[in-house]
Each structure stands twice: as C-alpha cells, then as structure tokens.
Structure 1
C-alpha cells in the first residue's frame, strides 16, 4: 500500500521488521571484529529464511556504541524463528571468543510503521552513505498520537527539503536484549532512520528549520530522545 504526501513523498506501510544491533567492541580489535562480522556473522544471518538484507555502519558522531548493524526481515517474528536462534546455538569458537570480550551489545527488534521516500530516489541508490538514527519515548498515549501525526503531516515533508535526504523509515519496538556495558542503557519505543547522501545535513538551514518548528517543540518538550549519525561501512 502506498500514498503521497503534499510534497510528493511516496509513503509505504508494509508490515515488515528490522533487527537493530548496537555493538561496542571494547578490547576487540577492529580487524578481528570486521573479519568475524564480514566473513562469518552477517553472511550466516542472510541464510535464515526471512532475513532479506544485512548492512553495517560505523559511528561518525564521536559517540558510542561505535557499530550498528541492521537486518531487514520479512516480519518481526523472523527474529524469534528456529533457524534464526539456531545460529546462536551453533556459534563458532571465534564468535564465542569475540562476544565474550566485547564491551556491550544491544539487540532490538522493531516492526515497521511507515517509509517516506523522496520521488528522486531509485531503489538501487539505497542505502545511502550517511544515516541519522533517532529513538524517541513519549510519556503518554496522547503525546504518542501527536508524535505520529507530526511525523506524518509535517516532519517528513520538511526533512525531504534537506539536500541529500532520500528516505525516512519509522518503526515501533517489539522487544530487546542488552548485555554488559549497554545492559542499563534506555531503549525507546520509537525509531526513525533517515538516509542521506551528504554528511553535512545537520548544519543545513533546512535541517535547522525542520527541527525548530512550533509543532516540533511541543512534541519534544517532554520526550526522551537520542540521535546518532553513522556512515555506511558495508552492505552484504
């Protein structure tokens, strides 16, 4: 199902999901981490029925966690399926050793609610080089309704005017599991992922306008919010 916003963005609401994984390697070297992830972990995930994509990103905002992996799944239930869980049960010695050493891990499963795509975005241009990840928590159901209405009726259209913005996807949290140094970190209910071709989007007048409207100020007044910026490392 698809429709268009007043600015011409294509809106789709397919019922799919994403497995979102933050990882902070700590004492694990980047070479060892990437060798394991690129040559073993991500390729094995793609053998699971229902896992349709695997993409890794590295932080460029001087914050931690440093690494983000996104696994596109046909439905959120894929992340609880027997083939998916079987990978952990038969983990290699290399995987066990690395996961024993990493500083922190956060694995989250989300259900997709809507994707807004710029009309000048061919499918082959995605994923873009830069990713803005925003997680949000609203204190009341009424404020959640206002958040969703703001995104649908104002925010995505304003973001689409930023040079290099190509797509924004929104998700709602299903479940999560966090270990070690990330065990006590907050996990918010709503997730937005924005694709950009240019890395300077935060400093543009269009971004500043999109994040300073009266409606935005009202929505964010009592919200929990965390924003991160990542650069594409590898698509599998």
Structure 2
C-alpha cells in the first residue's frame, strides 16, 4: 500500500462561483470520498493572487485510483460535464509520498505547495532532510512537510506540501534563515522548474450521505 496525494487545481472561468462550489461540494468531491481508499479531502483558496485560484487535495492509497469504484465516479454526469467544459483550468496530478516530517494538523489553516524539477534529486532530497525541513519545523506554527514524486499529470516532478498556521510566518526571522542558506542557493541553482503556491483553508470534503 502506497501513500498518495490527489492534487487538483481549478479555475472556475465561465462557471459562476456559487455554481462551482455547489457542484464541487455536493457532487464532485463527495463521490470521491465514497471510494474505498480515499480517506480525506480538503479544499483551499489561493492567498497569493495567482491562478488557478482553487486547490483540492485528497489523501489516499494509490490503489484506490485503479479500482472500479474510482473509475465509476470519473464518469461525468451531464451536470459535471457542463461545469468542466466551462472551467478555465482543471489540472489533476497524482503524487506518491517519499517523505513525511512534522506533526499533522486537522484542517491546516494554510498550505504552501512547492513543486520542483531538478536533475539532482538526491541533492535536493538531502538538503530537505538534513537542513531545510529541520529549520522550517523549528519555527512555531510550521507543523508538517510532506514530499512527493509525481506519477500522473503534468508539472514539475517533485512536490513539497507544507502545513502552517499563517502567512505571517514568511516574515519570521527563522524563515528568512531557512530560505537563504548557502546550501539552498546551491540546490536551487540546479532546479529547472519551480511552482510555489500559497492557499488558505476553505472546507473539508464530506462524503455523500447514505441513501435513505
């Protein structure tokens, strides 16, 4: 059993925001939570002013995405097809866990996603494990850092997902230290692609209620 992350970026585009949220919260996401092996799901809104403006992420076992139950929920209803056709962005990625440090928090107020590609994955991993993550986790309010490798979708090959209390932590002196060391400069000089996004908690995905 492999721990995985389903990571979906969306931009409503021509879909009015109330319709977008109603579709996501009453049909799209609840159906996925009903699939065996998909354990939890969360929705976040962009805090960085960038697009896509919405992130949904699901914690799951990789095998859940290959069973009949998941394939069934991927067959779109007429309503879902209408919504998807009007979205500006629906960027679906699947990642497998390669490292998990820190303490999980329920409904983290803020998540920072940093996706990278580099020809020196070993050097990047060593830097994260030996220097960068320990420095970040020493900051009060910086709770957890998980690292993943992309196995489906497009975008940079590696993802770090940070769970933190508040964007104000970016102004903490220890954060500035963690992001300005000589070793970081060496590692980042070899990075060929980078996406950094900041999102704030919107809601927790709930499964469909059982039929009466």
TM-score, length basis structure 1: 0.83
Give 1:144 deviation, angstroms: 0.9
Q: Match of 1:193?
A: 161
Moved over 4 A (4+): none
What corresponds to 2:196 in structure 1? 227
Alignment partner of 2:153 out of 176, 198, 220: 176
Structure 1 residue 88 displacement after superposition = 2.1
SS at match of 1:171: strand
SS in 2 for 1:19: strand
Q: Secondary structure at the match of 2:51?
A: coil
Which of these residues, 56, 67, 87, is aligned with residue 81 of structure 1?
Answer: 67
Q: Which runs of 5+ in 2 are unaligned?
A: 206-212
Structure 1 CA distance, aligned partners of 2:56 and 2:33? 13
Q: Post-superposition shift, 1:222?
A: 2.4
> Following the alignment from structure 1 to structure 2, what is the Cα–Cα distance between the partners of residues 127 and 206?
24
Paired residues, number: 204
- Equivalents in 1 of 2:202, 2:93: separation in Å? 20
Match of 1:8 in 2: none
Task: Tell me what 2:23 maps to.
Answer: 36
SS of the residue corresponding to residue 200 of structure 1 reads helix
Q: Give unmatched runs, 5+ long, in structure 1.
A: 1-13, 178-186
Asked whether the 8 Å contact 2:7–2:93 carries over to 1, the reply is yes
Q: CA deviation at 1:96?
A: 1.0
CA RMSD, aligned part only? 1.4
Scaled by the length of structure 2, what TM-score is found?
A: 0.92
Tell me which moved more, 61-70 or 109-118.
109-118
Q: Indicate yes or no: 2:127 matched with 1:150.
A: yes
